Structure 1
């Protein structure tokens, strides 16, 4: 009881199958491009360059987490690093008091941001999943 389809219907079915295949391939391409974007992000590249013994520390606790936060802040606000290096490496014309005040200001801002992040993470852990 097999009926032969007309050539027009057969052609239309093949065309729709090709369109569906192209749509699936486009979706796969978008997905792979998004994965490549994540894999090529600076933080991911830095983590992949670390030796295996340090990879656990990078996402882990305490000091290394603070180091990654500082690294992230310096990447986000390069002017802070530039200003700090200019103050440290600057000529003798600047007074030591100005350098000390600028260092204290940068340290205070870094401490304030660190406390805010710590408080936010403590609140999210207290709420639970």
Structure 2
């Protein structure tokens, strides 16, 4: 701070810093709350589907089957998870495979 500040100016500056910190805490709390809400399975499924698409359940199943046919790694990763992957050390490989498959599917759906 400047050396030439009066006590009144210093008090005002401290209050402004406190108000800014309070706003940042509120923003952080709101963002954290929104992040937690977006990690629920229903929100994740909604995020995979384009907004306003109005796809029925059969259309959604057809889309999943098309993606599974196009990306066999996705199918093998899901089947490995469902059947209970053999060892714990393979979980990271399965996770990476799922992540890559998901990213490929997102990239293909944008084109």
Give the TM-score band, short-chain normalised: 0.3 to 0.5
What's the TM-score, normalizing by structure 1? 0.39
Q: In proportion to residue count, which structure has more helix?
A: 1
Greater gyration radius: 1
